[in-house]
Amino acid sequence: MVKNCSTLIAVTVMVIFTAPVYSQVNPFIDLSGGYDYNLNKYYNKYVYEKFEGKTDFNAGVALGVTLGKRVRFRTGVNYAQFTYGQYYPSGFLTDNTGISYTESEMTIHCINLNPRLDGRLLTIKKIDLYITAGYRFEWVVDDDEESIKSDGATTSSHYLDKNFEKSNGGPFIGFIVKYNAGKHLGITFEPLYTYYLKELYYQNDDNLQRLSTNIGIEYTFLLGKNRAEKKQEEVIE
């Protein structure tokens, strides 16, 4: 997977830097972030009451190029974080002082690479609607666990199973609603659905899935358009 990603990054950079050769190709950069909802994150190993966590989000940057009037290719690098945990029955789990724990929560930190194609479906005044599809490569780079005691104190001791998948990936599909605020600047709203090819824990009944809702700012350099306009001016002269 790492070798494939290195190849993909090299191809993306090559496409972006050779894009100005073609009149209809313009590079762009996109900064975005938003909330995620991850399904099938944690299995109920000891029949404790589990919870899915509420601090799932992502943020990242993407570089891309337009390929004609309706198609775009881009690759983004994102940071993603998701949480899950479990509650303990009263007095069930105690430390060496006899104080019981009430809950434990795991936070997983990930980096993912997202090559994709966008296809513009329609334009209404200043609004473009795209369908987008691609593949998400994701790696866990860190994890943190926090357990809360009945007296309110916290500890980083591990009680949750850390035998989760350290790398995962799968296809995603979604839509992009882009408001063109100017020739170069756009504001985007993007709902996405990702289906991972593996479970987070092998004991889970289904694979990891993610629903994302992102808002972003997109800047297009319009290199191809500028050359076309310059050539037209030379013909008129």
CB-based contacts of 158-164 (< 8 A; 24+ apart in sequence): 159/93, 159/101, 159/104, 160/42, 160/85, 160/86, 160/104, 160/106, 161/45, 161/201, 163/201, 164/108, 164/140, 164/200, 164/201
Average pLDDT (90-98) is 69
The answer to whether 196 touches 210, Cβ cutoff 8 Å, is: yes
Q: What is the pLDDT of residue 134?
A: 97
**CA dihedral of residues 164, 166, 79, 131 (deg, nearest 10):** -90
Average pLDDT (136-165) is 88
The answer to whether 134 touches 112, Cβ cutoff 8 Å, is: no
Q: What is the pLDDT of residue 233?
A: 44
Q: Quick one: how far is CA 193 from the chain centroid? A: 10
Q: What is the pLDDT of residue 20?
A: 46
Most confidently predicted of 53-57, 64-68, 184-188: 184-188
Q: What are the pLDDT digits (tens) for 4-30?
A: 545 444 444 444 444 444 446 899 999
At 169, the amino acid letter reads G
Most confidently predicted of 63-67, 163-167, 188-192: 188-192
Q: What are the pLDDT digits (tens) for 119-147?
A: 999 999 999 999 999 999 999 999 999 98
Domains of the chain: 2-236 (2.40.160.20)
Q: Quick one: how far is CA 91 from the chain centroid? A: 39
Contacts of 178 (CB under 8 A, 6+ apart): 127, 128, 129, 130, 186, 187, 188, 218
Structure tokens at 162: 């850390």
pTM of this prediction exceeds 0.85: no
Average pLDDT (82-99) is 78
The answer to whether 225 touches 20, Cβ cutoff 8 Å, is: no
Identify the three-state secondary structure at position 66.
Answer: strand
Q: What are the pLDDT digits (tens) for 189-231?
A: 999 999 999 999 998 889 999 999 999 999 999 875 555 454 4
Q: How far apart are CA 131 and CA 117, in angstroms?
A: 8
Contacts of 148 (CB under 8 A, 6+ apart): 101, 102, 103, 104, 154
**Residue 57 pLDDT > 60, yes or no?**
yes
**Residue 72 forms beta bridges with which residues?**
66, 118
Q: Binning pLDDT at 50, 70 and 90, where does residue 45 land?
A: low
More reliable by pLDDT, 158 or 224: 158
Q: What is the pLDDT of residue 168?
A: 97
